[in-house]
Structure 1
């Protein structure tokens, strides 16, 4: 492209500024000779308007309005080559042109508008060819990068190197940096900021650009479009990961897969070290927010297992305080979170689900938005303090036993209560229940299968005793 100033700098054209020199950097995208009284109706943005003055009004106020309308049509400049007897440009028009920054160029009537138009068109065509060639190079660079790098972070680094540009992708909502090639070079505001099309709702920022051919808004938009395809593909991959994680968590909760067996798969998902079960709860009308939770930037480095049950979302996730706080904040002020003990040989996945559920149920009765089961357990050491707390304890420790009893008429709660009151003595417990000792073994084994808690363990004795006491308090 060519600017107004570059046209003036060509001596053979004989152009000179009469007004609006501050707009000399405007780009000329076309040239059009028009002597109608309303040239703004016949031009597009960036047009160099060439006039002999035939359609120009005589009145100063009318001329001032005339030049303003030309500016509103986004003309790049006015070339005035008056024919003999044409109306002169008034001081009011020139003053208004200076005010609005619209260049007014004087030229000789002998200037051939065709010559000026040809020069502009040649520059436009040359610029279009250069842009086309640059676009071809951009696509070739991107194709090369796709072959050289397996994941998007590495590809972005290679793109930054090959394009000699500093690139950064940020989340449009939170402003969180998703990917960057040079963190230190973004201390200052970015030189260019473009929305990335697609569902990712992200923005491409370009810092220092050391490549002339990519320093073009259109090419930058093409780059943003290519990255948009990448981000959408990454979203689709995370959707698949969520579905896989749901199936895996269902198997772990149902006991169809051992936690130790699943560790290799969990590590591949970035779930290492101490893992906890988290229960997130939202009002029923807001549970749609759960559907996009796996796309929050903080989860780009790992893929937690997720399973939604009505208005509660369960996550098997890294025990990372900052990460959990970010997830809670991303769901809004209505969200509540309960966190289990770390999952271990002593705390099964099934037990961790119950702990997280009990913790999140307790949050509703406090001013907090997050509760750890460890804190809740110490608070309940002497038993639940309210009716709702008692109901929560009964539901989450005895709920499955109550459901089973209703369907099979087997007195599991009575069996459990007698066993605990007899201090775990098998012989006296069986005698009081008037059943064979092996039948007692069978029933307590069934309790363990239904709840995931072993009644003969110290943990099982404490929580079942607490739950049975809570049930008595509700009668």
Structure 2
């Protein structure tokens, strides 16, 4: 489309600026003549208004108001070819136009408006023809890029080369993260920051939530919004396809990880699949949990920018999200922060093809519990920066302690439908308060006395003594933090 400056540059039209030359880059989509007193009711965005001044008020203050109303209608410019008896153009009118950067042009009365309109219309028709050619080229370039099986950023770079703009796909709803950036946009960002550049144009990508396409001037100015919307449509199709594929991979990954945790399949059998899911480097098991067992916002975690190159195996167990993931601690911490403000992630030891995933998951759970204890967002199993109290430092150590201390009580409760373990837990949690513990258990105080005597007989540990209460409490807390099922510990 032709701009106001380009129109003024045509000598045969004899146009000159009266005001608003700073807005000379405005594009003109169409041209109409009107001598009515309210032309703003009859025009659309981008139109060029041509008048002989017949509808222009005579009073300067009224002219200023008339000018403001016309500018508010979003037309591109005004051409005044004053006829006999029409009002002079006042300085009040030109001041309004100058202040708002709105072009006002003067022309001789003998200028045939049809000639001016034809110039604008021919430019608009040629612009549309060029746009159609460019759109066809865009689709061809995008199709070729898809067949090349590169990343979205590669296709955005290919589009940059076609339109001459720097392009970025950004997710405004995810902390304004960059989804994909073309090479030209990357060069600009490394210099002055694309998001802060003037003359950027931003459009929403259909069906993609808060994802937007941002274009900034490259070798060309960003002047064709309809063309930019075509680009957004192309990218929307790919994002929709990628979202559906990621949802499918999460569903199949859940089945795989369930089998690994239940030990019905081995990691060696799944190892090649991990590579197909982008996990070609070191992998580990991660456990995300929120403080107090609150629910995690995990439904779309597999679509997060951090997992753009990976398709991890994820499964929800209670309030915890377990994942077989790339062993990248910073990435796992970032993902956790987006699921819950108080989320902590525990990371297991690095896995090999022969590792036991169920054991690694228990390591991750223990590490997550330690992270919460220490007020940290992440804990890597076996790499604590400081000691975590007196708790055992490994799953096997915890199992051994629980079997040795609580084993006789677990067997007794199972064989006699008893409640010794819960009675000890309640008594210690209430700091040895007999009546309060009995009330909580719903039993007589003397019954609780009998039960703790039975505990002493079976374990040799007296719950009311310092040593006995310490050992019993250590075993109970260790089992809780390692998420061990007491019934499964004793054969």
TM-score range, shorter chain: 0.7 to 0.9
SS of equivalent to 1:338: strand
Q: Does 1:186 align with 2:189?
A: yes
> Residue by residue, what CA displacement relative to the aligned partner does 1:389-408 show, whole Å, maximum 9, x if unpaired?
x99x969x999x969985x8
2:337 aligns to what?
329
1:296 to 1:135, Cα distance in 2 relative to 1, 3 A: same
1:4 aligns to what?
4
Once residues 380 and 242 of structure 1 are traced to their aligned partners in structure 2, the CA distance between those partners, rounded to angstroms, is 34
Once residues 51 and 162 of structure 1 are traced to their aligned partners in structure 2, the CA distance between those partners, rounded to angstroms, is 39
SS of equivalent to 1:307: strand
1:217 aligns to what?
225
Q: Does 1:361 align with 2:374?
A: no
SS of equivalent to 2:375: coil
Contact 2:348 2:360 in 1 (8 A): yes
> TM-score, normalization: structure 1?
0.74
1:112 aligns to what?
112
Aligned length: 413
Once residues 265 and 139 of structure 2 are traced to their aligned partners in structure 1, the CA distance between those partners, rounded to angstroms, is 46
How far apart are 1:125 and its partner, in Å? 1.8
Partner of residue 475 from structure 2, selected from 457, 466, 470: 470
2:252 aligns to what?
244
Contact 2:289 2:296 in 1 (8 A): no
Trace 1:343-422 onto structure 2 (pairs within 5 A): 343=351, 348-374=356-382, 379=387, 382-383=390-391, 406=414
SS of equivalent to 2:54: coil
How far apart are 1:193 and its partner, in Å? 4.9
Once residues 12 and 248 of structure 1 are traced to their aligned partners in structure 2, the CA distance between those partners, rounded to angstroms, is 75
How far apart are 1:167 and its partner, in Å? 4.0
Contact 1:34 1:50 in 2 (8 A): yes
Contact 1:149 1:155 in 2 (8 A): no
1:171 to 1:86, Cα distance in 2 relative to 1, 3 A: closer
How far apart are 1:250 and its partner, in Å? 0.6
Contact 1:168 1:206 in 2 (8 A): yes
1:380 to 1:71, Cα distance in 2 relative to 1, 3 A: closer
> TM-score, normalization: structure 2?
0.72
How far apart are 1:73 and its partner, in Å? 1.2
Instruction: Tell me how large the CA RMSD over aligned residues is.
Output: 4.0
Trace 1:149-228 onto structure 2 (pairs within 5 A): 149=149, 152-161=152-161, 166-172=166-172, 173-182=174-183, 183-187=186-190, 188-190=192-194, 192-194=200-202, 195-199=204-208, 201-206=210-215, 209-210=218-219, 216-228=224-236
Once residues 235 and 249 of structure 1 are traced to their aligned partners in structure 2, the CA distance between those partners, rounded to angstroms, is 21
2:467 aligns to what?
none
2:47 aligns to what?
47
How far apart are 1:312 and its partner, in Å? 0.9
> Residue by residue, what CA displacement relative to the aligned partner does 1:14-55 show, whole Å, maximum 9, x if unpaired?
333233333333222222222222111111122222222222
1:345 to 1:384, Cα distance in 2 relative to 1, 3 A: same
SS of equivalent to 2:56: coil
1:92 aligns to what?
92
1:56 to 1:403, Cα distance in 2 relative to 1, 3 A: farther
Contact 1:394 1:468 in 2 (8 A): no
Once residues 402 and 318 of structure 1 are traced to their aligned partners in structure 2, the CA distance between those partners, rounded to angstroms, is 38
> Residue by residue, what CA displacement relative to the aligned partner does 1:369-393 show, whole Å, maximum 9, x if unpaired?
32333257994685579xxxx99x9
Trace 1:22-101 onto structure 2 (pairs within 5 A): 22-101=22-101
